[in-house]
């Protein structure tokens, strides 16, 4: 088991819905152009796309990056400043968009699940931030240590608001600012059934500690496809 401080990875996370009349082309754009384009940027290592079993946002895409600074590097910002014609067509179809550059502060276990449970937390009171994040880190890490949970890897992604809030020409195509959260808890599992069970355990574990913060989007997701720089 590894902690993120030794693992040397961070996260770009995107949750969104899409105009259903364009969903087929949206998937094709992601697979044929967008993921390969992103992975051509130095520091992007791998990409993963999931679909919610039920509920909204329907889609969840995330990337391993070498570190969060990759997400304001000149090469990455150059891509965001010069979206392709296909990207210019697709971006207005995005709905209900949350996009966060995240620091990976808990990374216990190994592998990538064919299913996952993911929860987003927002509205953390600054007075409670240190104690709440510490408690959430502990809860996320403990879930992977209990054999019957079926959780093979637990992660906590903490949003870097300065990096996340950059306004770019690509972002402007979506209209309005992307939503930010404070953090996300991600539990990797080998099946949808185990992911749904893990979501229930996660809610029970962290709900009592939230105070005024909001737990949202606690959903099970199935893997659509993944891609790495090695192909």
pLDDT of residue 150: 84
Q: What's this model's pTM, rounded to 2 decimal places?
A: 0.92
Which two tokens mark 19?
């105009």
Q: What is the pLDDT of residues 156-168, one digit of tens each?
A: 999 999 999 989 9
Mean model confidence pLDDT for the chain = 90
pLDDT of residue 22: 97
pLDDT of residue 156: 93
The residue that leads in pLDDT, 197 or 145, is 197
Q: What is the pLDDT of residues 82-102, one digit of tens each?
A: 999 999 999 999 999 999 999
pLDDT of residue 128: 81
- For residue 39, give the nearest of 1, 72, 79, 10 by alpha carbon: 79
Tally of CB atoms within 10 A around 163: 18
Which two tokens mark 146?
């209990």
Could you write out the DSSP letters of every residue in 29-41? HIIIIIHHHHHTS
Q: How confident is the model at residue 8 (pLDDT cuts 50, 70, 90)?
A: low
> What is the C-alpha to C-alpha distance for residues 178 and 83, in angstroms, rounded to an integer?
17
pLDDT of residue 230: 73
Domains of the chain: 4-228 (3.30.70.100)
pLDDT of residue 192: 95
Tally of CB atoms within 10 A around 6: 7
Choose the weakest-confidence range: 80-94, 132-146, 171-185, 191-205.
132-146
Taking a C-beta distance cutoff of 8 angstroms, is the pair 18, 94 a contact? yes
């Amino acid at each position: 088991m590894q902690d993120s401080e030794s693992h040397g990875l961070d996260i770009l996370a995107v949750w969104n819905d899409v105009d259903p009349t364009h969903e087929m082309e949206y998937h094709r754009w992601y697979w044929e152009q967008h993921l390969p384009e992103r992975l051509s940027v130095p520091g992007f290592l791998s990409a993963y796309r999931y679909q919610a079993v039920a509920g909204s946002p329907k889609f969840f895409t995330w990337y391993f990056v070498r570190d969060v600074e990759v997400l304001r590097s000149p090469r990455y910002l150059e891509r965001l400043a010069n979206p392709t014609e296909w990207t210019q067509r697709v971006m207005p179809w995005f709905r209900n968009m949350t996009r966060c550059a995240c620091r990976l502060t808990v990374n216990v276990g190994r592998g990538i699940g064919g299913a996952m449970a993911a929860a987003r937390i927002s509205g953390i009171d600054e007075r409670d931030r240190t104690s709440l994040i510490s408690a959430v880190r502990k809860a996320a890490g403990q879930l992977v240590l209990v054999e019957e949970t079926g959780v093979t890897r637990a992660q906590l992604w903490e949003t870097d608001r300065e990096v996340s809030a950059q306004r770019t020409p690509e972002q402007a195509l979506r209209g309005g600012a992307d939503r930010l959260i404070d953090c996300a808890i991600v539990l990797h599992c080998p099946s949808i059934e185990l992911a749904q069970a893990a979501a229930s355990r996660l809610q029970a574990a962290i709900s009592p500690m939230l105070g005024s913060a909001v737990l949202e989007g606690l959903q099970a997701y199935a893997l659509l496809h993944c891609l790495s720089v090695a192909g």
